[in-house]
Amino acid sequence: MASTLSLSAAPVREKTIRVADDKAMLRAAADLTRELSSPKPAIYWADLIGSAVVGYGGLAVAIVSGSTALTVVAGVVAMLGLYRAMSFIHEVSHMKHASLPRFRAGWNAIVGVPMLIPSFMYEGVHNLHHAKTRYGTVE
């Protein structure tokens, strides 16, 4: 059983080339999709309000319904609608305050505070998961 140990700089060069290629690819992707990343207030507000109406409406039906089957269905609808509305916390934590005026306050009033997840409890902490010094791998 003979084993050989080869010390080569090839893996280091390959890794450097791959990182450069990845950066170029990410830059190209960002350039191609730049206009898609600007938030459109009408879409955000319609989605938030629609999700909240479905969620709170389903909750109201589940509370007042006399039928077990209707209560279960309305509960599932409420859960899905409110989950979608609460998921906006991720968008709220990443958006610039000026990009969607009053959306943060509106989200907190409609969903954040009633669901006990106001954005100020998530914003600073959430952004840490993007820090390369805290999460991720060496590669």
- Decide if pLDDT at 2 tops 70: no
Please check whether residue 66 lies inside any domain of the structure: yes
Identify the CA nearest to 91 among candidates 50, 99, 27: 99
109 in a structural domain: yes
Q: What are phi and psi of 48, to 5 degrees?
A: -65, -50
Q: List the domain range (segments joined by +) for residue 80.
A: 48-130
Q: Encoding tokens for residue 4?
A: 């050989």
Between 137 and 56, where is the model more confident?
56
The number of folded domains in the chain is: 1
Q: Is residue 94 part of a domain?
A: yes
Q: What is the pLDDT of residue 129?
A: 72
Q: Is residue 103 part of a domain?
A: yes
CA-wise closest residue to 41 among 135, 126, 128, 104:
104
pLDDT recorded at residue 137: 61
Query: What's the pLDDT tens digit per position in 69-126?
Result: 999 999 999 999 999 999 999 989 888 888 899 999 999 999 999 999 999 998 877 7
**Is residue 75 included in any domain, yes or no?**
yes
On whether the CB atoms of residues 70 and 61 are closer than 8 A, the answer is yes
**Within a domain: 40:** no
